[in-house]
Amino acid sequence: MANISFIQYEMKSGEQKLSEALYLRGFFVEENKGIFSLVNGSEQDVKELKWLLEQCEIPVMWNDDKFQLLVNHLPTEKVSEIIHFAGRDHPVGMEGYHFMWRSFVTRRFGIRISTLDNCPYTVMMAKALNIAGIITLCGCNGHGKHQPNIRLSGVYNGIWFSIIQEEYLADLSLHYRWNFEFNKNTNAAYILAKKEKMEDWDMIKVLADCEKMSNVLLNHAEGIRALKKQCFKRNMKEKAEAMRIAGDLKGLYHWMKNIVEEQLSRGEKKFKI
């Protein structure tokens, strides 16, 4: 008997396949009556998307920052080429403000990062985190050799992710465990994937995990940003900075977590399904 999932996939239109492939590669597009456009895309996003489609020889016609697919069917190999399109080596730096409480509380959204510089499989997670206001610098899929990871902008964003993970992502069935870790020697904050000792890294599983987490983060991005704004204020700087400088991450986590729980207990809308 033919595989039902395969048949359903093959029956999808070229537009549907292209939209899904671009999403998995970190380009968040919307399609309306055959016309594609980037969701809140920057000039850099448009430039990179044009280049990607050209490199993959996808027949499209552009009109300013919108485009149309010129064929009805998109071969599976072209879908795969887009999804697995390799990232590029690029420097990732941390400025002093990345560590500061003021930067954490005042930024509503994260930052814009290059989609094509970043690795496939993890880039959509990095971009979804930024849209949810969790400032994220880059993502690396580990290339099958080491831990897939998402690099965050300082310890406050790392702890904030841990809290959001408990509130929104805890019920997801994932292949790997994704947890925040902080390197005191380098001041680097990461979301690190963890596997069983004898298990190999599987890039499709990494992609599947990141897709599930990204879907939730994007669906609740507005609520997550609002909760952060309600909970954390600039006048909390002295206490927050004192714990950060002292390296009291456990105390910092419990303090931030208690603030969130108090806010939610007041009956504020949780923006959660």
pLDDT in tens, 38-49: 998 889 999 999
Number of domains within the chain: 2
Out of 59, 83, 107, a domain closes at: 83
The answer to whether residue 189 is domain-embedded is yes
CB 180 within 8 A of CB 162: yes
Same domain, 152 and 18: no
Mean pLDDT computed over 89-110: 81
Same domain, 46 and 128: no
Q: What is the pLDDT of residues 199-252, one digit of tens each?
A: 999 999 999 999 999 999 999 999 999 999 999 999 999 999 999 999 999 999
Q: Is the pLDDT of residue 271 over 50?
A: no
Q: What is the pLDDT of residues 149-169, one digit of tens each?
A: 999 999 999 999 999 999 999
* Domain that residue 180 falls in: 96-265
Q: Is the pLDDT of residue 98 over 80?
A: no
Please report how the helices 221-231 and 249-265 are oriented relative to each other, as an axis angle in degrees rounded to 10.
Answer: 100
Mean pLDDT computed over 97-119: 90
CB 47 within 8 A of CB 115: no
Could you report how far apart the first and last alpha carbons of the chain are, in Å?
37
Altogether, the residues listed in the chain come to a count of 273
Same domain, 109 and 52: no
* pLDDT for the residue 273: 38
The answer to whether residue 270 is domain-embedded is no
Same domain, 110 and 78: no
More confident residue, 150 or 88: 150
Same domain, 66 and 149: no
Same domain, 234 and 148: yes
* pLDDT for the residue 94: 64
Out of 57, 83, 109, a domain closes at: 83
* pLDDT for the residue 186: 77
Q: What is the 3-state secondary structure (H, E, C) of 36-86?
A: EEECCCCHHHHHHHHHHHHHCCCCEEEECCEEEECCCCCCHHHHHHHHCCC
* pLDDT for the residue 272: 46
Closest CA to 58 of 118, 17, 29: 17
Q: Is the pLDDT of residue 4 over 70?
A: no
What contacts 15, CB < 8 A, 6 or more positions away? Answer: 31, 34, 36, 69
Same domain, 101 and 55: no
Same domain, 103 and 37: no
Q: What is the pTM of this model?
A: 0.92
The model's confidence at residue 188, banded by pLDDT at 50, 70 and 90, is confident
Same domain, 238 and 144: yes
Same domain, 38 and 164: no
Same domain, 235 and 101: yes
d(CA 214, CA 228): 18
Same domain, 79 and 116: no
The answer to whether residue 187 is domain-embedded is yes
Q: What angle do CA 140, 146, 152 make, to 5 degrees?
A: 35
CB 188 within 8 A of CB 167: no
Mean pLDDT computed over 55-69: 96
Out of 56, 83, 110, a domain closes at: 83
